[in-house]
Every structure is written in structure tokens, then in C-alpha cells.
């Protein structure tokens, strides 16, 4: 049996767990909004046309914040198309996804949905085809209390109180040539800085996110962030990171190790931002908003014929996730938590139907994809402080990322309750690994309150409409709940091959 060991210490704190780590993303894209969160006429639709089955799953997922309304979509979006009487709203072309936007859902509807779901809104403004004035206008509509044209229009539309949206994205992926209104780093840096200053004149304590690179493979990766921050450093609070991972050519070993790339991505952007701060002699630190991350079989999308022509809510990138994808999603969350000192906001892209943990059929059921489970359990159990978590374990060689650890893990400790949770993946494709968790530094007995694992004999198994519970969490084998960690203060668990596990301990 392969063996690994991790020693946890409550004094080795990385940072508090940020609730915004468990963000998601609703873009006007494909069926995320229409027949995703919103489907008047669906048997579960509420008085506002929202699917109650999807709302219940969003709550169960534990999402804390939702980025809206895009994505590539936002770079051509006119927010005012989506306010006022629904029957007067225009139908528009959405150039990003070559579909028709009916504007039946706009920010007022989405804010209602967000309230029902209990999530904070992260609002993205259009800096593709628009600029400072339109960003100020939508801010006035959403956040200004009353007594101005746009705040009064919001009140007339039924929202008496301002929405108080705190965190704003200054455009989306403007480094990408595919983006409507694509810009050079210098052009975007100036625009982001000007927009940020204007928004902060209106409301000084807004938290503003400048666009970083749309992926670490962009030719301008690093230099884009550097130039943008040279212009905008003092005016913004975050720089964004976006990363999507997939299994290429059956190379499961590399895919399972892709969180090492996320680790490297974060360290590179932290170093880049800090270097700019040092050059500017600034005391301020720029944090990271990892506001698009997930597994996405992007190469299948790129190889497919162009998206359908000008349909309303076409089926776009409705990836079906398997067991390996779920293990990777769990591992990406481990990476995000590990960097909680600098990654203080993150959004899994997206929430429903479009590369999503929640799937729906129009008029039919909603169900949990495999990737739902590690997200939901991590969001529920990661409490208190993130602890430094170094695993002593064997390594393996990957074609894409070089040498990678077989086991990756992160632990959280809640000083208020004394509870400790370890989130851990086994990347080995053949063998279980026996992991010993040394808890002696806690100085008190802990008992296993819960240990759940996501794994399957078939790593390609998926959940479907007809078999929605095929892949789910099961009690970790060989872990009797309630086992007391006495003696040397450790507990040993067997991690099946290709698996994600959450082990929760509470004071005995
Ligand atoms: O999430 C899907 C798309 O991926 C988003 O619209 C875009 O920002 C990114 O490229």
C-alpha cells in the first residue's frame, strides 16, 4: 500500500476562509439564464418565473456570490435593455455567442433571484463597447439611494432600496481577440483606471476587479497584468484570473495534476502584482479574484461547427462531467483555499447548464452533475482558518506539468468550534493511498464526525437525467464515524484511486 502523511497545526494559519471563495457565475449564455434559473411555465416556477428546483440546488451547492451578467456577453451588453416593462424590452443580437437575447431577465430580476438564493452579486460592467459613463449609469441605477434620474427609475421599477452591490468587475477578458471591444493592455489599463476612479468617486468603498489574462496561455500573460496595474494599481482592489482545464488525448495523469497549474498561475500573478506595487512604492496589496475557473472541454467546443445561428437560449457547452472531472474540481478548490491569503474571491463558471454543476431540462428535472458534490461539501465544511498543509507523499511524472504529488490536500480549522476538516485528493490511477493525518499539535482528542469520498470503479461515470445519483458522495471506507484519535494523535484513512475526500473532525 502506498503511504502518505500530513501533520496539521492550528498555529500554522494561512488566512481566514473567505466566503467569497465559493462564488459562481451566471452569464446570459446558452441555457444558463433561460431554462436554467428562469423558466416561467415550468412546473416548479415561482411567481417571478424562477425555477424553484434550481434555486434549491443553488442553495444546497452553498454558492455565496454570483458574477453576472457575463462573461463575453457583457462586452456587448446594454444593461438598460433589461429594465422596465418586460414587453417593451428589445430583442438584441448577442455577438459573443451568436444568439438572441430577449432581455426578459435583467438586473432587477437577477437581483430578486440572488436574494432568493441568498447570494451576493458580483456585477460586471461592459468595457468592451462602452466606457466610463455607462459604468457610472448602471452604478447609479443599482446603488444610488434615491433622488436622481436613474435611482428613481430603479425605484419606479420596484426596487425601492439600492442593491448595495459591493464588488464590480471592470469588463471581461479584454486581452482576448475574441472579445467584443478587445484592447491592448495600455488601452484597457487607462480605461479600467478611469472607470475605477469614477466609480470610487461615486462610492469610495466599492471593491473593483481589473481584468487579468483570460488564461495563462495567452501570449501577453504577465505583461498584460503588469501594464494594466501600472495604470490602475491605486484605483482597483483585485486583478482577475481565469482558467479552464480539460483532459487532453486521454492523458488522465496530467489532467488530475492540473491544480498544480492553478497554484503556479496564482503565484505568478501575485508576484507580478507585488512587483508593480514595489515599483510604484505602494503599500497596497492587490488581491486575486479567480472569477472564472472550472473543467471545460474547450477543445471540443473549438473543434465543433460555429454555434447555432441566432437562437434564443441554444444548448451551448453543456459539458457532462465524470468522476475524474469532479476530483479535479475538488482539487481546484483545494488550490484556491490554499491561496486564501491572496485569492479572496472566486467563481466557478458557470452555475446552470453551461459548464455547470446543475443541469436542467426545459419543462423537466434539474439534477446534480458529479462536480456538484466536492463544491457543495467544501463550501459547507471549510470554516475558520485555512491551515498550511504539506503532504509527505510519493510523486509521479506528468507530460504537461512535470513531477506532481500523488496526494494534494488542504485543511481548515475553526477556532470557534475546534472543528478541523481535511480536503484531499488521490491522483493515483491504480492504487489507493493510506494517509495518516497527524493531529497531535491540537493538544486535544478529536473524533471523526464525517468522512465522505467521491470515487467510482469507472472514472468516466457521469450523472444523467435518468440516473442522477450514479455518482455521489459515499462514506469513506474503513472510517468508522466517531473513531477517537488518541495515542499518537493521528487518524489514518484509505484514499481510493482517483478520489476526492472530506474528513471532518470535531472535539471529542
Ligand atoms: O464561461 C464561458 C466563457 O469563458 C465566458 O463568457 C468568457 O469570459 C470565458 O472565455
Any atom of ligand 1 within 6 Å of the Cβ of 101: no
Q: What is the pLDDT of residues 308-341, one digit of tens each?
A: 689 999 999 999 999 999 999 999 999 999 999 9
Q: What is the mean pLDDT of residues 46-57?
A: 98
Residues paired with residue 209 on neighbouring β-strands, in sequence order: 169, 238
52: enclosing H helix or E strand: helix 52-61
CA distance 503 to 46: 37
Q: Residue with the nearest Cα to atom 1 of ligand 1?
A: 349
Give the pLDDT band of residue 122 (cuts 50, 70, 90). Answer: very high
Q: Does residue 305 or residue 115 have the better pLDDT? A: 115
Q: What share of the chain is helix, strand, coil (3-state, %, to 5)?
A: 30, 25, 45
**Most informative mutation of 29, 67, 72, 302 for ligand 1 (most atoms within 8 A of CB):** 72
Candidate from 43-47, 402-406, 447-451 with smallest mean pLDDT: 447-451
Q: What radius of gyration do the chain's Cα atoms show?
A: 23
Mean pLDDT of 143-151: 98
- Compute the distance from residue 248 Cα to the ligand 1 centre, in Å: 20
pLDDT at 300: 84
Percent of the chain with pLDDT over 70: 98
**Nearest partner of 123 among 29, 36, 23, 33, judged by Cα:** 23
Is pLDDT at 486 greater than 60 in this prediction?
A: no
Which percentage of the chain shows pLDDT scores above 90?
A: 93
User: Burial code of 104-141, b = ≥16 C-beta within 10 A, e = fewer?
Assistant: bbbbbbbbbbbebbebbbbbbbbbbebbbebbbbbbbb
Atom of ligand 1 nearest to the CA of 242: 9
- The catalytic position among 27, 80, 140, 292 is 292
* Average pLDDT over every residue of 261-266: 98
Nearest CA to ligand 1 atom 3: 71
| 388 assigned to active site | no
- Residue-level pLDDT at 59: 98
Pick the range with the lowest mean pLDDT from 236-250, 293-307, 417-431, 457-471. 293-307
- Distance in Å, CA 72 to ligand 1 centroid: 6
Residue range 152-172, pLDDT digits in tens? 999 999 999 999 999 999 999
Dist. CA 66 → ligand 1 center (Å): 14
Q: From the CA of 389, how far away is ligand 1's center (Å)?
A: 32
Q: Is the pLDDT of residue 196 over 70?
A: yes
**Ligand 1 pocket, 80 CB below 6 A?**
no
Q: What pLDDT, on a 0 to 100 scale, did the predictor assign at position 487?
A: 59
> Cell 435611482 appears where?
151
Pairing of strands 311-312, 238-245: unpaired
**What's the whole-number mean pLDDT along residues 355-372?**
98
Q: What's the mean pLDDT when you consider all of the chain?
A: 96
How many whole angstroms from its chain centre is CA 401?
22
Distance 127 CA to ligand 1 centre (A): 15
pLDDT band at 302 (very low <50, low <70, confident <90, very high): confident
pLDDT at 485: 63
Q: What is the pLDDT of residue 483?
A: 65
Task: Indicate whether residue 319 lines ligand 1 (CB < 6 A).
Answer: no
Residues, the chain: 508
Contacts of 397 (CB under 8 A, 6+ apart): 253, 403, 404
Which pTM value belongs to this model?
A: 0.97
The reply to whether 292 belongs to the active site is: yes
Task: For ligand 1, atom 2, name the residue with the nearest CA.
Answer: 71
Q: What per-residue confidence (pLDDT) applies to 404? A: 98
Query: H or E element: which one contains 196?
Result: helix 185-202
Ligand 1 in contact with 71 (CB < 6 A)? yes
Q: What are the pLDDT digits (tens) for 13-26?
A: 999 999 999 999 99
Mind listing the pLDDT tens digit for each residue in 62-114?
999 999 999 999 999 999 999 999 999 999 999 999 999 999 999 999 999 99
pLDDT-derived band at 277 (thresholds 50, 70, 90) equals very high
Element (H, E) at 225: helix 223-232
Distance CA(206)–CA(287), nearest Å, equals 14
Q: What is the CA(132)–ligand 1 centre distance, in A?
A: 23
Residue 480 has pLDDT above 80, yes or no: no
How does residue 299 score in pLDDT terms, banded at 50, 70 and 90? confident
Residue ID of nearest Cα to ligand 1 atom 4: 71
Give 443's pLDDT tier (boundaries 50, 70, 90). confident
Q: What atom of ligand 1 comes closest to residue 72's alpha carbon? A: 6
User: Is the Cβ atom of 426 under 6 angstroms away from ligand 1?
Assistant: no
Rounded Cα gap, residues 239 and 286, in angstroms: 7
| Residue among 109, 140, 173, 207 flagged as catalytic | 173
Atom of ligand 1 nearest to the CA of 25: 1
Cα of 462 from ligand 1 centre, angstroms: 23
- 173 Cβ closer than 6 Å to some ligand 1 atom: yes
CA of 440 to the centre of ligand 1 (A): 45
Ligand 1 pocket test, candidate residues 29, 128, 292, 348, most atoms within 8 A of CB: 292
- Per-residue confidence band for 190, with pLDDT thresholds at 50, 70 and 90: very high
- Evaluate if residue 305 carries a pLDDT over 80: no
Amino acid at each position: 500500500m502506498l503511504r502518505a502523511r500530513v501533520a496539521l497545526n492550528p498555529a500554522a494559519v494561512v488566512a481566514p476562509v473567505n466566503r467569497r471563495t465559493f462564488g459562481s457565475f451566471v452569464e446570459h449564455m446558452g441555457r444558463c439564464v433561460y431554462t436554467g434559473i428562469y423558466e416561467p411555465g415550468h412546473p416548479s416556477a415561482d411567481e417571478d418565473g424562477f425555477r424553484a428546483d434550481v434555486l434549491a440546488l443553488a442553495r444546497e451547492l452553498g454558492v455565496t456570490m454570483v458574477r453576472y451578467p457575463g462573461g463575453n456577453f457583457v462586452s456587448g451588453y446594454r444593461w438598460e435593455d433589461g429594465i422596465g416593462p418586460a414587453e417593451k424590452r428589445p430583442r438584441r443580437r448577442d455577438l459573443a455567442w451568436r444568439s438572441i437575447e430577449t432581455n426578459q431577465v435583467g438586473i432587477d430580476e437577477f437581483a430578486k433571484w440572488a436574494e432568493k438564493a441568498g447570494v451576493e452579486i458580483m456585477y460586471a460592467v461592459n468595457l468592451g463597447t462602452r466606457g466610463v459613463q455607462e459604468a457610472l449609469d448602471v452604478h447609479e441605477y443599482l446603488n444610488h439611494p434615491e433622488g436622481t434620474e436613474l435611482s428613481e427609475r430603479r425605484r419606479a421599477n420596484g426596487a425601492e432600496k439600492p442593491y448595495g452591490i459591493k464588488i464590480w468587475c471592470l469588463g471581461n477578458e479584454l486581452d482576448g481577440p475574441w472579445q467584443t471591444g478587445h484592447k491592448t493592455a495600455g488601452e484597457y489599463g487607462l480605461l479600467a483606471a478611469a472607470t475605477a476612479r469614477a466609480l470610487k468617486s461615486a462610492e469610495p468603498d466599492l471593491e473593483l476587479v481589473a481584468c487579468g489574462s483570460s488564461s495563462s496561455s495567452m501570449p501577453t500573460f504577465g505583461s498584460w497584468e503588469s501594464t494594466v496595474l501600472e495604470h490602475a494599481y491605486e484605483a482597483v482592489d483585485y486583478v482577475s484570473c481565469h482558467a479552464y482545464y480539460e483532459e487532453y488525448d486521454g492523458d488522465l495523469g496530467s489532467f488530475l495534476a492540473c491544480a498544480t497549474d492553478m497554484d503556479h498561475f496564482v503565484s505568478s500573478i501575485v508576484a507580478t502584482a507585488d512587483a508593480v506595487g514595489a515599483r510604484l512604492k505602494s503599500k497596497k496589496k492587490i488581491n486575486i479574484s479567480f472569477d472564472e475557473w472550472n473543467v471545460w472541454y474547450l477543445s471540443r467546443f473549438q473543434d465543433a461547427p460555429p454555434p447555432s445561428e441566432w437562437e434564443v437560449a441554444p444548448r451551448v457547452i453543456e459539458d457532462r462531467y465524470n468522476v475524474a472531472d469532479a476530483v479535479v474540481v475538488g482539487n481546484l478548490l483545494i488550490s484556491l483555499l490554499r491561496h486564501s491569503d491572496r485569492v479572496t474571491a472566486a467563481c466557478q463558471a458557470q452555475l446552470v447548464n453551461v459548464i455547470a454543476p446543475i443541469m436542467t431540462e426545459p419543462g423537466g428535472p434539474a439534477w446534480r452533475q458529479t462536480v456538484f458534490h466536492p463544491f457543495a461539501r467544501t463550501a459547507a465544511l471549510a470554516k475558520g482558518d485555512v491551515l498550511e498543509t504539506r503532504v509527505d507523499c510519493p510523486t509521479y511524472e506528468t507530460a504537461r506539468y512535470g513531477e506532481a504529488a500523488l496526494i494534494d490536500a488542504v485543511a481548515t480549522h475553526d477556532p470557534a468550534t475546534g472543528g478541523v476538516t481535511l480536503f484531499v485528493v488521490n491522483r493515483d490511477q491504480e492504487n489507493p493511498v493510506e494517509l495518516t493525518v497527524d493531529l497531535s499539535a491540537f493538544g486535544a482528542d478529536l473524533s471523526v464526525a464525517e468522512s465522505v469520498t467521491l470515487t467510482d470503479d469507472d472514472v468516466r461515470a457521469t450523472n444523467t437525467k435518468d440516473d442522477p445519483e450514479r455518482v455521489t458522495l459515499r462514506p469513506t471506507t474503513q472510517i468508522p464515524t466517531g473513531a477517537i484519535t488518541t495515542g499518537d494523535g493521528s487518524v489514518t484513512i484509505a484514499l481510493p484511486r482517483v478520489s476526492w475526500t472530506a474528513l471532518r473532525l470535531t472535539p471529542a
